[in-house]
Structure 1
Amino acid sequence: MNYEIDKLDRQILQLLMQDVTRAYTDIAKELNVSGGTIHVRMKKLTEMGVVTGSQLLINPSAIGFDICAFIGVYLEKGSAYKEAQELMRQIPEIVELHYTTGSYSMFVKLICRDTKHLREVLNEKMQAIPGVSRTETLISLEESISRQISIN
């Protein structure tokens, strides 16, 4: 569903995407509107489902998690997805899970401390899930781009 958001909504979102901790009063001053206007607009954007929350981003390597890996998961059959997805939700190292078309049934992004930890997650957790026939692992050497969608 496409929502009708105007130029002011886009400006507010752009500023908050750059720094979610920025005060509404600061945004209001920059955009020459009242703080109440920003609050009302954000409430509207949240109710419409355009804004779904905010989050604190942590640099995983700064806390000892040095491996980012992407796992292509092959399921024995598509009907195993729902149960596999629920079991994967319980694996804290998994930070993203996608149900996909193409070669893989599922595509997973996970963060681990090191290669030993990655092996444990793969062998003892992911590959033990009923319906998972095999996995294919890609290790990220560097994340060059990480950003939100452009709303300009």
Structure 2
Amino acid sequence: MSVRLDDLDRKILRELQRDAGQSLDVIAKTVGSSKTPVWNRIRKMREAGVVGQQTVLLDAESLGFEACFFVLVRTSEHEAGWQDKFLQVLRDRPEVLEAHRLAGEIDYILKVRVANARAYDVFYQALISEVKIFNVTALLSMEEIKFSTELPV
């Protein structure tokens, strides 16, 4: 469902995406409004589900998570029970930052952050011991060229 947003809403969203820790005063000044209308618009966008939880982005490498793997998963299982188990396993693994179900030859792609290749192998061994998987291909990211959480609003 699409929510109607005007230019001021979009300016507010761009500022929140850039830095959600800014004060309302700073956001209001940047978008050319005052504090109360900005607060009301943010509240309405939260209620409408446009704005979700606020969080902090951490630097993975400085915390020792130097390896990023994209894991391609193919399965021969397509029953609801298998899928429920697989999704629960993914939710329970903190190394899995993202998981997507795909159209095409690959069933799922996972973004996995770990300390190194050995830590990836520990993750992999745990994954295949918990759920039956037909084929797993791991691709090591050599360099992150672009990362953003900002949508083009």
> What residue is the counterpart of 2:119 in the other structure?
117
Larger mean Cα displacement after TM superposition, 98-107 or 58-67: 98-107
- Where does 1:77-116 land on structure 2 (aligned, <5 Å)? 77-79=77-79, 80-116=82-118
> What residue is the counterpart of 2:131 in the other structure?
130
> What residue is the counterpart of 1:22 in the other structure?
22
CA distance in 2, matches of 1:33, 1:149: 22
What amino acid does structure 1 have at the position aligned with 2:144? E
> What residue is the counterpart of 2:146 in the other structure?
145
Deviation at 1:128, TM superposition (A): 1.6
What amino acid does structure 1 have at the position aligned with 2:133? V
What amino acid does structure 1 have at the position aligned with 2:118? K
Alpha-carbon RMSD across the aligned residues, in angstroms, is 1.2
Deviation at 1:22, TM superposition (A): 0.7
> What residue is the counterpart of 1:75 in the other structure?
75
Identity score, percent: 24
Deviation at 1:30, TM superposition (A): 2.4
Gap regions ≥5 residues in structure 2:
none
TM-score by length of 1: 0.93
What amino acid does structure 1 have at the position aligned with 2:132? G
Deviation track 1:6-35 (CA, whole Å, cap 9, x = no partner) reads 000000011111111111111112233221
Deviation at 1:138, TM superposition (A): 0.6
SS at match of 2:143: coil
SS at match of 1:85: helix
SS at match of 1:30: helix
CA distance in 1, matches of 2:131, 2:112: 19
Task: Confirm or deny: 8 A CA contact 1:76 1:133 kept in the other structure.
Answer: yes
SS at match of 2:129: coil
TM-score by length of 2: 0.92
SS at match of 1:128: helix
Deviation at 1:105, TM superposition (A): 1.4
CA distance in 2, matches of 1:137, 1:88: 15
SS at match of 1:45: helix
CA distance in 1, matches of 2:97, 2:115: 14
CA distance in 2, matches of 1:69, 1:120: 13
Count, aligned residues:
150
